[in-house]
Chain A
Amino acid sequence: MHVPDGFIDAPASAVAGVVAAGAVAVSLKGARKELDERTAPLAGLVAAFVFAVQMLNFPVAAGTSGHLLGGALAAILVGPYTGVLCISVVLLMQGVLFADGGLTALGVNITTMGVVTVLVASFAFRGLLAVLPRRRGSVTVAAFVAALLSVPAAAAFFTLVYAVGGTTDVPAGTVLTAMVGVHVLIGIGEAVITTATVGAVIAVRPDLVHGARGLTAPLKLRVGGELVDAAPATPAPAPRSPRKVWIAGLVTSLLLAGFVSFYASASPDGLEKVAADQGIDRKVEEHAAKDSPLADYGVQDIANARLSGGLAGVIGVAATIVVGTGVFWTVRRRRTEAAGRTEATGRTEATGRTEATGRTEAAARTESSARTESSARTESAARTDETG
């Protein structure tokens, strides 16, 4: 999917380049948080790994073979920021050194194959992990779905770029069908291989898989016959202030609602169109609020279409925030009150039960995990001696 020069026109390439530069800048910052001062060697080696694994050919059938794209794999194994960084570096080097992908199309390539793939994969992965039970099997399922989604998503994004700045006039619909059709197939292969690879890494070094960090049981120590939580090896990161996210979200939604919405298509959306074509909407009555001052996304008495639509959008966002915050606040207050009440009654019962059953299990787990860890350490130390 490496786009050569001349496939996307100059303005669209420039915009994609700016987007890619921004994404790389953000990931440079984020990767420093994920890997601290080890960023350069570790991200470099992971980039080399991605580069090498793209050469590993997987036979499909009858002489044809495909290879891993690696975006989803990198996102799951080393985290989204480092993932974007590694894929971008690989693409940069492929463009400059191997002439694989044009220099002017570098921005398009990085946004499509680096940013979109990694973002879609990591969002899908995290979303699924949050929903599924905390087990090793869930990681497998989440990795499969994440990789499966990431490849067609990149293809669809490429079609979008093509529709904006393509230099040929093959209709975007045809390109979308062809690209997404082919890449769904590629995505299935990518998903199977990514899942198997993540599974292989989890089986040996689960601590290395960024996406499965919450799965390991906490270490317990037996101090004088009592099981005590061991002090965490690394201090837990300080909770991030939600204010920044909140403000960014607010600004984005205001921008979208007030300005960008003007450029949204005025033709009926998919559902409305199907309904109109099939005559489903014949019986639909006009909405009860059609006379409201904000009906059909415009403010009454304002003639300028742009101003009216934008104003309606801004008012809508504000109203949504007020209502949403109100609901959230009430629910949270009720929940904290309820939690306080149950805690008092439930505590004595619960402590008695866990102590009886939990001890043997936890002790066994600690022992086994300690054993594997120490053996792994000696092994790696031995290997260091050998190679270093």
Chain B
Amino acid sequence: MGSGHAHRLYRHADSPVHALPPHCKLAAVLAFVVVVVSTPREAVWAFAGYALLLAAVARAARVPGRFLLRRLVIEVPFVAFALLMPFVSQGERVQVLGLSLSVSGLWGAWNVLAKGTLGVAASVLLAASTELRALLLGLQRLKLPPLLVQIAAFMIRYGDVVTDELRRMRIARESRGFEARGVRHWGVLAKSAGALFIRSYERGERVHLAMVSRGYAGTMPVIDVATATRAQWAYALALPCAALLICLLGWFL
């Protein structure tokens, strides 16, 4: 774990958003996304409002806009799907630039694009301002089953190790002149996957034995308890509350 324990998506900064307790941030992001999803798609201005809210959060967290935009690339497959929608949807049609497009399909594409992008942006902001360990602590505070949190913790902790092993195997293959070009080479790659499984499983057994020898009895000791004051909750929940206001306006206007 040469890279330390910070993940690629985390951006270290000294901001009020970074300082918030993780479970407050998780709850706020979840509530925000739920509000966004339940907004009627015809209220176009409401989505502009949400985008402004997120921009304010990004500013408070000192996350540069370029970083945020680069992370949005993950959404591309569904953008392709959304762009296809006006062509395959049924119902009333309009002529745009000589193309016959479905009205409801256009609305659908807008709906998916707007809500999906806002959701991704909110998640990216959360990941950029929260450390991994804090995120897991937050999940635990939000009453996720402790065993599930432990599994997630092990996955995160050893994810880099296992991925690194995969990388070393790739380098070993390539240094022996192997280059996967087509279906004929699947056998070799599958053997790598098999070897990776065996190594991961055996590592799991060794880790378990090491933990047992250090007194592990099925539960992890809680060292630092994440607590939040009322002011911190209020600060975190300002985002979903403002979003809810916009959402209600969108429904009734």
Residues of A at the B interface (CB closer than 8 Å) are: 4-7, 9-10, 13, 24-25, 28, 32, 37-49, 51-53, 55-61, 68, 73, 77, 85-86, 89-90, 92-93, 95-100, 102-104, 167-171, 174, 192-193, 195-201, 203-205, 208, 380, 383-384, 387-388
Report how far A104 CA is from B115 CA in the complex, Å: 11
Q: Inter-chain contact count A-B, CB under 8 Å?
A: 267
Contact of B204 among A37, A45, A96 (CB under 8 A): A45
Can you report 20 A-B residue pairs in the complex whose CB atoms are below 8 A from each other? A4-B75, A5-B36, A10-B38, A40-B218, A41-B207, A42-B205, A48-B155, A48-B200, A51-B163, A56-B192, A93-B155, A99-B119, A103-B119, A169-B89, A169-B90, A192-B186, A199-B190, A200-B193, A200-B195, A201-B198
Chain B residues positioned under 8 Å from A45 (CB to CB): 154-155, 158, 162, 200-201, 203-204, 207
Chain A residues positioned under 8 Å from B248 (CB to CB): none
Instruction: Bits for B186-202, please: 1 = Cβ < 8 Å to A, else 0.
Output: 11011111111110111
Chain A residues positioned under 8 Å from B71 (CB to CB): 99
Contact A92-B152, Cβ < 8 Å, known A51-B159, A103-B33, A204-B198: yes
B230 contacts the other chain (Cβ, under 8 Å)? no
A41 and B154 form a contact (CB under 8 A)? yes
A58 and B186 form a contact (CB under 8 A)? yes
Contact A52-B154, Cβ < 8 Å, known A59-B185, A60-B183, A168-B105: no
Report how far A199 CA is from B187 CA in the complex, Å: 10
Contact A193-B204, Cβ < 8 Å, known A6-B111, A56-B166: no
Chain A residues positioned under 8 Å from B201 (CB to CB): 42, 45-46, 49, 205, 208
In angstroms, how far is the closest chain A Cβ from the Cβ of B174? 13
Contact A99-B186, Cβ < 8 Å, known A39-B151, A49-B197, A169-B108: no
Q: Choose, from B12-20, B52-60, B123-131, B236-244, the stretch at the interface.
A: B123-131
Report how far A40 CA is from B189 CA in the complex, Å: 28
Contact A24-B207, Cβ < 8 Å, known A168-B108, A170-B85: no
Chain A: interface secondary structure?
Answer: helix
Q: Residue among B104, B148, B194 with the most chain A CB within 10 A?
A: B194
A197 and B193 form a contact (CB under 8 A)? yes
Chain B residues positioned under 8 Å from A170 (CB to CB): 85, 88-90, 105, 108
B51 contacts the other chain (Cβ, under 8 Å)? no
Chain A residues positioned under 8 Å from B9 (CB to CB): 97-98
A38 and B205 form a contact (CB under 8 A)? yes
A42 and B208 form a contact (CB under 8 A)? yes
A4 and B159 form a contact (CB under 8 A)? no
Chain B residues positioned under 8 Å from A383 (CB to CB): 202
B30 contacts the other chain (Cβ, under 8 Å)? yes
Report how far A123 CA is from B237 CA in the complex, Å: 44
In angstroms, how far is the closest chain A Cβ from the Cβ of B56? 19
Report how far A169 CA is from B206 CA in the complex, Å: 52
A42 and B198 form a contact (CB under 8 A)? no
Chain B residues positioned under 8 Å from A384 (CB to CB): 206
A44 and B152 form a contact (CB under 8 A)? yes
B147 contacts the other chain (Cβ, under 8 Å)? yes
A99 and B74 form a contact (CB under 8 A)? yes
Q: Which B residues from 94 to 125 make CB contacts under 8 A with A? A: 104-105, 107-109, 111-112, 114-116, 118-120, 122-124
B83 contacts the other chain (Cβ, under 8 Å)? no
B182 contacts the other chain (Cβ, under 8 Å)? yes
B145 contacts the other chain (Cβ, under 8 Å)? yes
